[in-house]
């Protein structure tokens, strides 16, 4: 990919990328989310219910997951609508979540 500071669209794309890396991804709050934790600086941890959220919210959550995986060097994971993340122990012991 070629980047030229002289091209307005290249400079705008670069500024958007720089903001996302330095400030994180903007998350405005959407239907189907639950606040798991909130911090004094305004940041928060949210849980997104893929059974009720829109395709846009699901894509945004997957974009954030991709950034986290990339930063941590983790394998890519994509959650389909209705997928559940389960505790391995509760599944083996026959417990339900």
**Chain segment 55-78, per-residue pLDDT in tens:** 888 888 888 888 888 888 877 666
Domain ranges of the chain: 30-74
Token couple for 53: 């959220």
SS (H, E, C) the chain: CCCCCCCHHHHHHHHHHHHHHHHCCCCCCCCCEEEEEECCCCCEEEEECCCCCCHHHHHHHHHHHHHHHHHHCCCCCCCCCCCCCCCHHHHHCCCCC
Q: Provide the sign of the torsion angle of the four alpha carbons 16, 55, 33, 61, taken in this order.
A: negative
- Confidence (pTM): 0.55
Task: Report which of 61, 93, 91, 53 is spatially closest to residue 77, judged by C-alpha positions.
Answer: 61
Q: How confident is the model over 1-55, as pLDDT tens digits?
A: 676 777 888 888 888 888 877 777 778 888 778 889 999 988 888 888 878 888 8
């Amino acid at each position: 990919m070629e980047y030229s500071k002289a091209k307005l669209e290249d400079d705008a794309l670069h500024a958007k990328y720089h903001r996302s890396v330095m400030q994180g991804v903007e998350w405005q709050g959407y239907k189907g989310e639950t606040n798991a934790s909130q911090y004094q600086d305004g940041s928060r941890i949210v849980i997104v219910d893929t059974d009720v959220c829109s395709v846009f919210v699901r894509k945004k959550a997957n974009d954030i997951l991709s950034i986290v995986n990339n930063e941590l060097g983790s394998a890519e994971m994509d959650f389909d609508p209705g997928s559940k993340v389960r505790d391995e122990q509760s599944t083996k012991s026959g417990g339900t979540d």
